[in-house]
Structure 1
């Protein structure tokens, strides 16, 4: 099968949709398919080349209309050259452009809804098949008008990704214990402010505890200012973006994902593999990533008090903490990237059954 993925960029910047697209492209090529990727480029170009995936560079210049027009011209040229069977679009705009050109070329369009909370996600419904990364996302897209017969649920999975070496290959980062960790973009949607407030609440009772915030983003300065206003700012560490956060997972006692919106949360499976006890908000696809709460503690979103109470319960009870560390490591086979690739290929075969 000839598969063409279209994604905004392939930078190593911690973007879940980029990681998912790169994983698919690499392993689909490994399985013997002819795979190409269109993007504006990035650090993963070398990895794609290693797996035999051809990369077409898209340059984004000028205003929005000019960029769209230039993209259409480029796609016409690429589609004519590559003759894809499947165009897999990972951004809503690319679904629209692929649909415009579909009258000329014989391909089917598959889209993956990575950020369902964005209004433009509804345009993924123009594809022939729509992949939702969790049951919650699938149900949301159906409520928003995408025909149910188009929607397929493929839970995200990142374990054993071609992007990463084994977690055993990374020496643990030396952290103050007990260490509370989050790995997330520094933006309001990720609930970073709630986590800082929760830590401020529990910090006096647990004077040895430290909070580590791994990630970067547009609201980082705001969160840093918030932390500086607390009496425990010396125990709140902004570590920036880390291309290999496994070193932090390996040393953390508790991993927190305090998102207000989260289609799935790939970081949760990585934290689970490392054996962190997990506290996360009960929103969107997060419960599915935590086996409906069996593999972690679920708390209401935008509620720093509830988050603080969950952290307190774990920190004050070593047996409870150890129990959730053990629970997080169970039932992880389902989150391996090979399963995601196989289920995605099944969706392709619905559209090209003879391939």
Structure 2
């Protein structure tokens, strides 16, 4: 099978969409398929090459001057590589793949991550639309994507080719009890509510510290918010970390306070690291936490509920130990190997003579 993945870039900046696609490309090549990636390039080019994945430079910047060159370049890539499957992970790639498909024999597959974006409806142009959680699938169905196109393949990242085994990481030295989050610095990630929750519990737990790992456009606003609290010396902004596992291994409690989050890769990583987890009950987060069996679920945009959950864990060592143990149960299904196997089965549905053994998950 010849598979071409299309991405905007392959930079190592903690982008979950990129990470999923890179994992798939490398594992598919390892399984003996001919695989290529078309993107504007980035740090993962070296990793892809080590697995025999070819990289084609494709600038998909949506500007008037780049439109015609992008179309020409895409056509040249298709002519050169002659894929059986074009797998687009972002909106521009789906549009290119659909509009220029007429004279080619490939089947078009898309993976929908951020379905809350208005443009996500365009992902439905593909022949098969992979949703990264049941919540995403249900949302796409409500927006009119036909059920025969939709397939649910929950995200999984354990065993990723991008990372080492969890036991090979050296934990960073944190002050304990340590509460940590790993997230992009966006309002939708709930960083503001996390800071509010910490300021509510900080007087009762004077040894507790909050570590915020990640970068993004709203970091300055969050930093200023923290500085205006009485506990700014206990709120640490660590920036982007290429090895967030070192923080997860060192943390006592991991928090993901997102307002929207289709299927965050950091949840499996936090579970594998053995953190007690508190996260919001939105989108694909409950699914990633086995519907509350592997972590405590709280309402989104509710700093009081988040503070209550944190205080419960910090004041009760037995409760903290219980949730750390629960996080590490039933991890097998969160593997990147399972994601790859199910993705290949979806491809096989679209290729004559192939019989994919994909078991459809109803939205």
> TM above 0.5, one fold?
yes
Secondary structure of the 2:192 match is helix
For 1:267 and 1:53, the matched residues in 2 are separated by 25
Question: 2:282 aligned with 1:283, yes or no?
Answer: yes
- Say whether 1:154 aligns with 2:153: yes
- Residue 243 of structure 1 corresponds to 242
Aligned to 2:9: 9
The whole-number CA distance in structure 1 between the counterparts of 2:68 and 2:305 is: 49
For residues 72-83 of structure 1, what are the structure 2 equivalents within 5 Å? Answer: 72-83=71-82
- Alpha-carbon distance in structure 2 between the residues aligned to 1:51 and 1:180: 37
2:277 counterpart SS class: strand
Partners of 2:58 and 2:74 within 8 A in 1: no
Q: Is the 8 A contact 2:4 2:36 kept in 1?
A: yes
Pairing 1:298–2:271 present: no
For the residues of structure 2 that align with 1:186 and 1:99, how far apart are their CA atoms? 33
Number of the residue aligned with 1:198 = 197
Separation (CA, whole Å) in 1 of partners of 2:173 and 2:221: 26
**1:138, distance to aligned residue in structure 2 (A):** 0.2
Aligned residues: 354
Q: What is aligned with 2:357?
A: none
Per-residue Cα deviation, 1:157-191 (whole angstroms, up to 9, x for no partner): 00000000111111110000000000000110100
Matches within 5 A, 1:41-80: 41-59=41-59, 64-80=63-79
Residues 60 and 92, structure 2, Cα contact 8 Å, conserved in 1: no
2:124 and 2:194 mapped to 1: Cα distance? 35
Q: Corresponding residue for 1:39?
A: 39
| 1:342 alignment counterpart | 341
Q: Per-residue deviation at 1:65?
A: 2.6
Q: Secondary structure at the match of 2:3?
A: strand
Distance 2:141 2:89 in 1: 18
Q: Distance in 1 between matches of 2:192 and 2:271?
A: 23
SS at match of 1:189: helix
| CA distance in structure 1 between the aligned counterparts of 2:11 and 2:95, rounded to whole angstroms | 23
Matches of 1:60 and 1:277, distance apart in 2 = 40
For 2:85, the equivalent position in structure 1 comes to 86
1:21 pairs with 2:21: yes
Equivalent-residue separation in structure 2 for 1:146 and 1:118 (angstroms) = 15
Instruction: Give the distance between the partners of 2:338 and 2:6, measured in 1 at CA.
Output: 21
Residue equivalent to 2:361: none
Aligned partners of 1:211 and 1:91: how far apart in 2? Answer: 33
**Contact 2:130 2:153 (8 Å CA) reproduced:** yes
Q: Which residue of 2 aligns with 1:166?
A: 165
Q: For 2:3 and 2:58, how far apart are their aligned partners in 1?
A: 17
Gaps of 5+ in 2: 355-363
Counterpart in the other structure of 1:333: 332
The DSSP-based 3-state class of the residue aligned with 2:250 is: coil
Q: Is the 8 A contact 2:226 2:232 kept in 1?
A: yes
Deviations 1:110-138 (A, max 9, x none): 00001111100000110000000000000
Distance 1:347 1:60, change over 3 A: closer
Runs of 4+ in structure 1 deviating by more than 6 angstroms, as ranges, are none
User: Which secondary structure does the structure 1 equivalent of 2:141 belong to?
Assistant: helix
Q: What is the CA–CA distance in structure 2 between the aligned matches of 1:337 and 1:60, rounded to whole Å?
A: 27
TM-score (norm 2): 0.96
